[in-house]
Chains A and B, each alone.
Chain A
């Protein structure tokens, strides 16, 4: 911590937040709001004179409320920067008549009641998001009585009670009688691994944290009897099993089963735990003098703004989604942005440090290069076709398209470095005024025509995204999962690229079934482009219905990269469906779609205002 404060290359803005962030890889513009500290940071010597005279006493957050602090305070003795901060909401008022004692006491005159928030603009090339996590609040788990029984504490409170720098100066005392408890219980998975309340995931650190706590207790108080109530003990890291073994051999009792209830003896304030021991199958009761709830970790509640600034999304657990869970675990899907620590998933200190090092190294690659190449698959606006509707700018998951100006007839502008090439804009553009470099409409239409050139009625035209469904098909191949030969696959970078024209063209040329497949919503490699896939396919279903074509002949499925089983299953299911599509049905579809008027009518019925280009030339089928 001290190293950060004095490193010549680091500018530390503490008590500060990111107010605004724009730009793209290599070129981020940030506004930092430096909140008013009311103490001139550079002048303060942390002499404590101001604290002594401050009359306002409030609970100390750092000590988990076990002790108090003043309205002007230093968070903890080793704080960096080593400077006081005045909490203006707690201060008797920056009205010197009401109080003003600290300003009087400060010899260096570094207390300034009139200090204002300061806005600082900086330019950077890369961003590392290390905003961390929060600790689960056990209040909702009423059976543990955290709010009712004083001797039920959280694992974070335990840390302060055992710490030499804590409120009891390292004497481990229980809250009710300030005596060292003779018996103590730890309850694991509080807020974790639960489908009902709390979170379904494992919080990673709590097992080992409890093992550590039991070892600390045994070092300080060898006579304390400790019991750990658990589901399983996950001691998977280097040296972890060893610590766990030491804890067990030191006499800590590990009981497999989570207590259903904690009751308090009103006189002794001791706690009575009822637990089903799943090893013995017995219902047990344990009387303990103190209980520690081993809390899980949860995503930060205040991360939404940053997520919006950087176009980040999260996985189902609420933590930020990485670019690739195995191959790019510290890269954000947005280029030039990296993750370090628990913001990506719960992890311990070692893993946080490892990931931080990896993030720094990944960021250094860009910084050292001094320039970044953009894969030539980005989108390009064809200005003469554009009618300035702005749909492209609205659907772009990366905000890489600057809104058009209808009045000034200024077409939208694609920021090449920010474009990831998903092609959602090109598929959504009602004017076909967007071209994807290397993945142009003509190429897809030509591929469809080539695939439909022979025996089109036997083929399932499959659009598969580059990141999930296509490798899902690869996975089926690697596992040698056999499925019918009818699939004819076309790769798109994202399922969001699949234009209505592609699907209709396949049907027009005699395809019995078309499958659009992409990543699951939580895995989408283009943040949330897949939502546009879904919306577009729904639109197409409606259109097919209006045209008298069975909508189920257009299928939509999400297949992940590791799910070859599903890929093969979908292909088998579609083969069955294929058998239900008659030649008459296919011929009817071909006729309807080759008749520009009918298709136009169906489109017009839905989007009266939006002009839709329809091919006029009759499709050629061999």
Chain B
């Protein structure tokens, strides 16, 4: 750690290791990983789950947050592309700022791609969790800023697409400015005689 790095005092990190049925536990020794996670600094609770994303798994997270007064949550399971929003909501429901959550991918990036190297995959899972916990130490609560939206739309181009978009927005009650380069709207479609598949007029 370099000198200028500052981490908050009183870190209470919870690590949740997911078996994902056998998807992870079939390759990675999740028990060994969970035991290892307990040895990491600032980690005060480690819970192993069969399916962390399912309701019982999420309830365990909420319970642990309350019981251990956790202020950082690390879930080691699948890709954040799938369940990051799930777990952010979960910790938020337990009263934590959703940005105090960190996800470690030990499935797509570990168990599924090292199926024949169980020991090394287990070591890798430990490394990845150590890295996730290191990142979690520096997580801070974040507030999502809100900016107002001017209640009007600009549609650029008055061909069939622009016309349709403008009409839909206008019918929905919004103010629409439609800008067309040519002297008339209609675009290329207006120059077409009949259109498929209905074989009717374009205009």
Closest to A348 in B: B196
* Cα separation A447 to B104 with both chains bound (whole Å): 12
Closest to B174 in A: A367
For residue A453, give the distance in angstroms from its CB to the closest CB of chain B.
7
B 14-57 contacts with A by CB, 8 A: none
Q: Are A13 and B138 in touch, CB under 8 angstroms?
A: no
Q: Contact mask A488-530 → B, CB, 8 Å, 1/0?
A: 1111000000000000000000000000000000000000000
How would you classify the secondary structure of chain A's contact residues: helix, strand, loop or mixed? mixed
Q: Are B133 and A450 in touch, CB under 8 angstroms?
A: yes
For residue A50, give the distance in angstroms from its CB to the closest CB of chain B.
14
Q: Contact mask A128-148 → B, CB, 8 Å, 1/0?
A: 111111010000000000000
B 163-203 contacts with A by CB, 8 A: 163-197, 199, 202-203
A 545-581 contacts with B by CB, 8 A: 568
* Cα separation A243 to B3 with both chains bound (whole Å): 73
* Cα separation A416 to B192 with both chains bound (whole Å): 45
* Cα separation A239 to B197 with both chains bound (whole Å): 7
**Of the candidates A10, A449, A482, which one forms a contact with B170 in the assembled complex, judged by CB atoms under 8 Å apart?**
A10
* Cα separation A237 to B196 with both chains bound (whole Å): 11
A10-B170, A446-B138, A477-B112 in contact; A4/B158 too (CB < 8 A)? yes
Q: Are B184 and A14 in touch, CB under 8 angstroms?
A: yes
Q: Contact mask A257-300 → B, CB, 8 Å, 1/0?
A: 00000000000000000000000000000000000000000000
**Is A341 an interface residue when CB atoms closer than 8 A count as contact?**
yes
**Is A81 an interface residue when CB atoms closer than 8 A count as contact?**
yes
**Of the candidates A62, A125, A239, A617, which one forms a contact with B153 in the assembled complex, judged by CB atoms under 8 Å apart?**
A125
A371-B149, A485-B121 in contact; A14/B180 too (CB < 8 A)? yes
How many residues in B have their beta carbons less than 8 Å from beta carbons of A? 96
Contacts of B161 in A (CB 8 A): 130, 132, 340-343, 352-353, 355-356, 359
Q: Are B176 and A9 in touch, CB under 8 angstroms?
A: yes
Closest to A359 in B: B165
**Of the candidates A26, A212, A360, A470, which one forms a contact with B195 in the assembled complex, judged by CB atoms under 8 Å apart?**
A212
Q: Are B157 and A17 in touch, CB under 8 angstroms?
A: no
How many residues in A have their beta carbons less than 8 Å from beta carbons of B? 134
Q: Are A453 and B183 in touch, CB under 8 angstroms?
A: no
* Cα separation A348 to B188 with both chains bound (whole Å): 11
**Is A47 an interface residue when CB atoms closer than 8 A count as contact?**
no
* Cα separation A331 to B154 with both chains bound (whole Å): 15
Contacts of A364 in B (CB 8 A): 169, 172, 174
Q: Are A617 and B3 in touch, CB under 8 angstroms?
A: yes
* Cα separation A422 to B143 with both chains bound (whole Å): 18
A349-B195, A376-B142, A471-B79 in contact; A488/B151 too (CB < 8 A)? no
* Cα separation A482 to B155 with both chains bound (whole Å): 49
Q: Are A79 and B184 in touch, CB under 8 angstroms?
A: yes
* Cα separation A132 to B5 with both chains bound (whole Å): 52
A14-B182, A490-B131 in contact; A127/B2 too (CB < 8 A)? no
Closest to A84 in B: B183
Contact surface of A with B, Cβ cutoff 8 Å: 1, 3-4, 7-18, 24-28, 30, 32, 37, 62, 64, 74-76, 78-81, 83, 85, 122-133, 135, 156, 159-160, 162-164, 166, 208-209, 211-212, 215-216, 237-240, 242-243, 306, 336, 338, 340-343, 348-350, 352-353, 355-357, 359-361, 363-364, 366-367, 369-376, 378, 416-417, 437-438, 440, 442-447, 449-451, 453-454, 459, 470-471, 473-474, 476-478, 480-483, 485, 487-491, 568, 615, 617
Known: A122-B152, A159-B191, A373-B146. 6 other contacts (CB 8 A): A4-B178, A26-B148, A163-B193, A447-B134, A450-B134, A617-B2
What are the 6 A-B residue pairs with the smallest beta carbon separation, nearest first?
A: A341-B161, A477-B108, A376-B142, A130-B162, A79-B184, A360-B168
